Each structure stands twice: as C-alpha cells, then as structure tokens.
Amino acid sequence: MAINLLDFDSASLTRFCMDIGEKPYRAKQLLRWIHQLGISDFSEMSDLAKAFREKLAALSIIRSPEVINDHIAADGTRKWLLSTGAGNAVEMVFIPEANRGTLCISSQVGCALACSFCSTGKQGFNRNLTVAEIIGQLWWANKMLKTEKAHETSFIPENSINGRIHHQEKNIGRAISNVVLMGMGEPLANFENVVTALGLMLDDNTYGLSRRKVTVSTSGLVPAMDRLRERCPVALAVSLHAPNDALRDQLVPINKKYPIKMLLAACERYLQAAPRDFVTFEYVMLDGVNDSTEHAYELVRLVKKIPCKLNLIPFNSFAESGYKRSSPEAIRIFRDVLLQAGLVTTVRKTRGDDIDAACGQLAGQVLDKTRRVNRNITKIAG
C-alpha cells in the first residue's frame, strides 16, 4: 500500500527520505511543496530530481479525505462533509471574518465522551482519525480557499482610448489564519496523532501558524492536558459547562473520572507553558439547566483565581437533544454577573446554524461501535 505523506511531520519525512536513499534536506523541500503550495502531483515538484519524483510516485501518495458535501450558510460559514471510509464521515467548518479565517477541524469519527448536549456525542464513537486525516483537513481547505480567492478578479480599465480591460488578481494572502480542534471528537483522546498534526501546523516549512492561533478544545482529560503542556502547548479551551461536580457529571460524564478540582489544577499547570496567559472556559447556555443567577455566582467563585476567559455559548439545537437554548435575557444576566466580578466574558456569536455548522451541531456519519462508547470513557482517559 502506498504511503500517505500527509501522515509525516518533518522528522518522519526526513527518515523516509533517508530510507529511500535521498538526502535529509529533501524533506524540507517536500514539506513546502505539499503544505505551502498544496501540490499532490509529484511531477509538478520542479526542483526535485526526476529520479526522486519517480521514486516518490512509486512509493507514496498525498491524499486528504474526500469531500462528500459542501454547504454555505447565509452568514458565509462553510461546512464540508469528508469521507473517512467504511461508511464514516466527519465534518469541518470554515468561519470567515473581516480580520481572520478560522477552520474548525475534527479529530475523531464520533466521540466516546457522550456529553449530553453535543450532537457528535449522541452518535457514539468509531475510531481515531489518522494524522493524514487531521492535517488533511487543513491541507485541503487551505488549498481550496486560496484557489477560490485567487480566482476572484476585478476588472480595471487598461486603456481608456480603446476600452480594453484586463483581469487583475487580488492579493490572496492567507485564507486560514486560525485553526481550532473543536470539531467532531475529543482531540486529547487521539493524543499522538493530534500532537503530530499540531507540529505540522506550527512548522515554518508548512503552515507557520503561531501557537496562539491554534486552539485545542478538551472536555477535561487531565493526564493528556499535562502531556500537551510538555509536548506542544498551544492555546487551550476547556469545555466546563457547569459550576459544580453534580451538574457537570450529568452534562460532561468524564467529570466523574476527572472532577472539577482536578481539572482546574491541570489548567493552572498548563498556564506555565501556554502561549496565552489565560485558559478559555467554554460554557454552553442551557435553559433551566445551568443558566441561573445562582449558577453564575457559583461559577465566579470557582474560577476567579484562575487567569481565564469565559466564552458563553448559546445552545445550538439538534434533533432529540432534550435541551433548549437559554433566553437572551438569561444569557445577558448571566454574562453581567461574570463581568461585574471582573471576569473577561464573551457571548459566542452563533454562526452557520442554518446548515447545522454551529458549535455542538457537528454530526457527520458515524458507524458507532456501540459497545465501545461507554467503555472508552475509562479506556482513553486512563
């Protein structure tokens, strides 16, 4: 079977080149062709020797997950359904804004953590994504968005006498400025593949993103948070969603293994190496569940000593969720309690909900290995 070079970071690609009799510096050239230029045809890699290109074509491929569907929301948010084989598919979302473009990527086919308000969790778990399937999302989206942007043209008069006009390409710049692992799956439950993909995102020979521009979101796998701090500390978002263990046990079942006290201690340790001087706590607003004034004051007491930012997320409904979004008034009152306590607090603007691309709505297609769903909560977190 051909080797997918999207699975390789700099070190492993260097070893691959040496194993087939090539100089180590060839790896750097390949990384640039593959990731910076988005080239998948070896014959187009013009500064590589012909014999080397033929060798690569015989042994390897450059292949990202295949796009099944492409949907664009009224607000410009874009969602793709990507095949991962055997009847499974994951979803990826691009959120364009005036000063940045954020790509939300998936790390697993489904999720074993079964958070009660999350559409992905309702589908169960099938498998971890490979490095190629994780970085392949960025590779494909980056290539496609840059190509589309390059085709945007403006018509500028070239000669006012004869009326001729010509196309002038706009400066395409960088379509994707931020990457968040907040799509399907728990990133830290697929630790090694995720860390390898993170390394590729940060590599100056590939995408050159700063650690501040790459965010990993976790439900609270404490040992893996510590490992991430040591291996590849990027921006951290923690799915908190409740101010006490009793409620969080219901909403985020992994809390039974790693309760809030352990989770917050891990956050404090993470800040020692984090690229930002705060952790983002995500808090989904569920009507009548976790949105009372009492919950807000309890949350203040819980996190006030930790450098953090609170991101309140209006619940995005999906079929059979059993929850409703908190009212705008309830969200405003909750936010004001946090702000008055001196906590940096934002309310996330809902994007792409008309195409089910909003936070918590990603579902894809998951052939659930049902008996593994509950067992995996203990297995992956140990």
Give catalytic residue positions: 91, 359
Terminal-to-terminal C-alpha distance of the chain: 33
Q: How far apart are CA 237 and CA 193, in angstroms?
A: 19
Two structure tokens written together for 226: 């510590």
Closest CA to 338 of 364, 359, 310: 310
Q: Quote the Cα angle for 241-122-87, to 5°.
A: 135
**DSSP string computed for 335-349:** HHHHHHTT-EEEEPP
Closest CA to 3 of 45, 11, 13, 206: 13
Two structure tokens written together for 189: 């439950």
Question: What residues have CB less than 8 Å from 166, skipping those under 6 apart?
Answer: 155, 156, 158
- 198 neighbors 234 (Cβ within 8 angstroms): yes
Q: How far apart are CA 133 and CA 84, in angstroms?
A: 8
Instruction: Give the chain's length.
Output: 382
Q: What is the dihedral of CA 207, 212, 216, 221, to 10 degrees?
A: 140
Q: How far apart are CA 300 and CA 308, in angstroms?
A: 11
- 215 neighbors 178 (Cβ within 8 angstroms): yes
